[in-house]
Amino acid sequence: MSSAQLDDKGVVVSCQHCGQRNRIQYERLNQPLRCGKCKSSIPGVAMPIDVDSEQHFNTLAGLSPLPVLVDFWAPWCGPCKMVAPEFERLAATTAGKLIVAKVNTEEQPNLAHRYAIHAIPTMILFTHGEEAGRVSGARPASAIQQFVDESLRQAKV
């Protein structure tokens, strides 16, 4: 299973054509780029991002010009496993429009505590670092998309 990683400057994704790793800077997540090696176009982050530290989470959520949908999950949670492919589907169809990220609450208990995660999976949508909506429980990609659209609409009012 492929996923994107975070570093101090941005999101590292693999080129789907040649496998070259390319970094998309946090501030430019809404802009397409070309692979540094084969020059094929990379539409954006098309897969869920594994959040590996609170620091990287802060940077991603705070600097991303795109809304960031975060799935708080745990390895022992059955519904989380069911919803994982739905997140992959959503990430693939929303590349360049939405960032999809995953927080393993076992590895990042500080983030789970900070956002008072009591049930998993819980999905929180962030815009410019601020919580714009949250929902708990597994659901198909179409329903997750609906939750995102609804939250963004309400956040703008």
Residues that bind Zn ion (CB under 5 A): 15, 17-18, 20, 35, 37-38
Q: Is 38 exposed, middle or buried (0-12, 13-18, 19+ CB in 10 A)?
A: exposed
Integer CA distances (angstroms), 22 to 18, 66, 146, in order? 11, 19, 30
The two tokens of residue 138 are 């597994």
Whole-number Å distance between alpha carbons of 44 and 95: 5
**Shortest CB 16 distance to Zn ion, Å:** 8
Shortest distance, position 6 Cβ to Zn ion, whole Å: 20
Catalytic status, residue 18:
no
User: Which residue lies nearer to Zn ion by CB, 13 or 61?
Assistant: 13
For Zn ion, give the closer residue by CB, 29 or 35.
Answer: 35
CB of 36 to Zn ion, least distance (A): 7
Active site residue 38: no
Catalytic residues, by residue number, are: 77, 80
